[in-house]
């Protein structure tokens, strides 16, 4: 794998010089400006030319790079990605998918949307399911992902109108898109092993993501305090070091790094703004994997076949089975 | 404190007989039927007469009891409470408030709504702030609670329309209602010490609550596995017992028990369905405390004065300061 590194040459050149082995594989591309965490997406869309973010996304747009990785401002990155890469044909709202520590064998579940948009209609939720399933197949190696719809209860009569509509139509979509629909799931099911992909709107998903991270951080801080209190506890912590490290690894947000933008003409992986080398490496690894399997082509085929099936179903009227997929392995 | 216990006498009488000291303070009130966890709220509202839930709420309605405590079906309990107690004058949507483990000195923050309704308009969010502040004063002994509005970012341009509107009008409401408005907060701020009361719609609040509980449960399970693996870890766990117990207590969902229904003509405390004796005792203690300070009267006065101020502001036009409160200590 080769890489193009976009940014201020004066800063990056000395950093790269410390790692001689990098120079053969990494091309430095100078960018005059950077997008900061405080920049507003709308501003960046209009006046972001010359930033490393534009340069990075344009490398994907021009076919020079197979995927983009950024640790920058999420809102701006999504805005620039939409502006330059454009949405996949048939996609209404792109989504951000992220991994969540879980009881499943792979150690992680997938949730989307976690913040690309603040709302989602039934059609969007159905499309998130199709895109999430495709990502789970290609990114998590799950042959037939199990999809759940996030709600405030698992009973059919509960929840918002758009959720009920998506719920009623999900079985049809599942048939064409080769996933299993497990029905409504609740906040407590995010780490559950009865589901692989959790579908929700970007507002709810973002709050849930940050709530989970915040809770994990709170417990971790309380645990440090608990193990720091008293000589016995400190001794215990020393003995338990390996166990605690193993625990940390299982719920490590750096490993859970790599939010993926779905629904665009190009792969964009968003790493956490506070990611360290482990986190950034995980994001680059994910981008590489998705590029290798030609994820975007597979995703586009999935979205198209789900859309065709939806049109068929609409023409045939409700209650009639939709057409089967196009046989692609996306 | 005396109590009336509602339920099947044949079941409860033998249980009570084991605790001789209870019989002097607890009156048994026989009820033919119970509401199950699977009953639909609408069904119970129509056909719930004769259940222990109706009997319990009616004791509050008739002035026989100062507050109600139930571990039952939350949806049904809210429906029955609304039907029999009716909403406080001026309240559009009642809310359920619950405690959340936090870094604040008291150890808990408050969040509402966590599931009374699946949506909330700007007016509702403002009212939740007023009611949450009143509960924080009377239930958590916080003189001047700090209120935050849950959003997907802390910048003013972010989030849904109703959130922006509530944000713009919150300063006015804060003035009359004696709380401090800290602005938008995120999911990661739920345990934060920069806020006491987190205001959100019932859908988001419910997902966040269950996500937090689920994350805590996941970490706790992983921790047990970690400490169960290998002789060194088991020995360490033994040594760290006290620290781990202290940790458990700080994030114990049983202590965080006692969701409170706000906006009704009567105090109703909802205990977790899986609560043990510690949890139920916490819920009863909270109900007793709220009854003693005449919480409902104070809450009603707060809602009324916020409403008056809102009307004044509307008559005076936007931008004009609203009237001050009525000087009550609610």
* Interface-testing mutation among B185, B240, B247, with chain A (most A C-beta atoms within 10 A): B240
- The pLDDT of residue B321 is above 50: no
Q: Does A89 touch chain B (CB under 8 A)?
A: no
Output the DSSP codes for B164-215.
HHHHHHHHHHHHHHT-EEEEEE-GGGTT-TT-SEEE--HHHHHHHHHHHHHH
Do residues B170 and B149 touch, judged by C-beta distance below 8 A? yes
Q: Do A218 and B159 touch (CB under 8 A)?
A: no
The shortest C-alpha distance from A237 to chain B (Å) reads 7
pLDDT: which is higher, A257 or A299 = A299
Cis ω for the linkage preceding A113 (within 30 of 0): yes
Question: Is residue B326 very low, low, confident or very high in pLDDT (cuts 50, 70, 90)?
Answer: very low
CA dihedral A298, A303, A304, A307 (to 10 degrees): 160
Question: Which burial class, exposed, middle or buried, applies to A288 when counting CB atoms under 10 A from its CB (0-12, 13-18, 19+)?
Answer: middle
Q: What is the pLDDT of residue A50?
A: 94
Spatial CA neighbour of A41 closest among A83, A93, A81, A77: A77
CB < 8 Å to B222, chain A: 247, 250-251
The shortest C-alpha distance from A202 to chain B (Å) reads 9
Question: B51-99, pLDDT tens digit by residue?
Answer: 999 999 999 999 999 999 999 998 899 999 999 999 999 999 999 999 9
Q: What is the mean pLDDT of residues A161-172?
A: 94
Q: What is the pLDDT of residue B255?
A: 65
Do residues A69 and A283 touch, judged by C-beta distance below 8 A? yes
Q: Do A212 and B187 touch (CB under 8 A)?
A: yes
Q: What is the mean pLDDT of residues A128-156?
A: 93
CB < 8 Å to A202, chain B: 152
The shortest C-alpha distance from A246 to chain B (Å) reads 7
Question: A49-58, pLDDT tens digit by residue?
Answer: 999 999 999 9
Question: Is residue B177 very low, low, confident or very high in pLDDT (cuts 50, 70, 90)?
Answer: very high
CB < 8 Å to B238, chain A: 236
Q: What is the mean pLDDT of residues A99-123?
A: 92
Angstrom distance (rounded) from CA A12 to CA A29 = 10
Share of chain B above pLDDT 90, in %: 61
Annotated domain spans of chain B: 1-85+264-278
CB < 8 Å to A233, chain B: 239-240, 242-243
Q: What is the mean pLDDT of residues A209-228?
A: 84
Q: Do B243 and A226 touch (CB under 8 A)?
A: yes
- Residue owning tokens 């919480």: B295
Angstrom distance (rounded) from CA B14 to CA B20 = 11
Do residues B175 and B126 touch, judged by C-beta distance below 8 A? no
Q: Do B229 and A246 touch (CB under 8 A)?
A: yes
- The pLDDT of residue A245 is above 50: yes
Q: What is the mean pLDDT of residues B219-229?
A: 78
- For the entire predicted model, the pTM comes to 0.88
Angstrom distance (rounded) from CA B231 to CA B211 = 33
Q: What is the mean pLDDT of residues A257-273?
A: 90
CB < 8 Å to A218, chain B: 101-103, 191, 251
Q: What is the mean pLDDT of residues A77-98?
A: 95
Q: What is the pLDDT of residue A256?
A: 64
CA dihedral B197, B203, B204, B208 (to 10 degrees): 80
- The pLDDT of residue A154 is above 60: yes
Angstrom distance (rounded) from CA B219 to CA A128 = 28
- CB contacts < 8 A, A to B, total 186
ipTM, two decimals, is 0.86
Give chain B's mean pLDDT: 88
- Closest residue on chain B to A232 (Cα): B239
């Amino acid at each position: 794998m080769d890489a193009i590194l976009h940014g201020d040459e004066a800063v990056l050149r000395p950093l790269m010089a410390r790692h001689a082995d990098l120079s053969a594989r990494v091309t430095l591309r100078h960018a005059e400006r950077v997008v900061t965490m405080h920049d507003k997406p709308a501003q960046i869309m209009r006046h972001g030319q010359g930033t490393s973010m534009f340069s990075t996304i344009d490398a994907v747009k021009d076919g020079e790079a197979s995927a983009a990785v950024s640790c920058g401002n999420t809102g701006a990155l999504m805005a620039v990605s939409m502006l330059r890469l454009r949405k996949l044909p048939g996609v209404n709202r792109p989504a951000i998918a992220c991994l969540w520590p879980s009881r499943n064998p792979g150690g992680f579940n997938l949730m989307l949307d976690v913040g690309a948009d603040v709302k989602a209609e039934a059609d969007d939720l159905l499309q998130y399911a199709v895109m999430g399933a495709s990502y789970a197949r290609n990114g998590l190696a799950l042959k037939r992902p199990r999809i759940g719809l996030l709600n405030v209860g698992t009973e059919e009569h509960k929840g918002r109108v758009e959720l009920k509509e998506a719920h009623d139509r999900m079985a049809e979509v599942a048939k064409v898109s080769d996933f299993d629909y497990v029905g409504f799931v609740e906040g407590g099911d995010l780490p559950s092993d009865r589901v692989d992909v959790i579908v929700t709107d970007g507002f709810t998903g973002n709050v849930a993501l940050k709530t989970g991270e915040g809770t994990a951080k709170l417990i971790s801080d309380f645990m440090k305090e608990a193990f720091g209190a008293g000589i016995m506890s400190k001794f215990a912590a020393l003995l338990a070091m390996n166990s605690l490290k193993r625990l940390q690894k299982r719920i490590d947000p750096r490993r859970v790094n790599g939010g993926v933008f779905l629904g665009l003409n190009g792969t964009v992986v968003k790493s956490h703004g506070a990611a360290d080398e482990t986190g950034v490496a995980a994001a680059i690894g994910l981008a590489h994997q998705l590029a290798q399997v030609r994820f975007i082509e597979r995703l586009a085929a999935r979205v198209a076949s789900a859309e065709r099936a939806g049109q068929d179903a609409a023409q045939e009227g409700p209650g009639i089975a939709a057409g089967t997929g196009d046989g692609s392995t996306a």
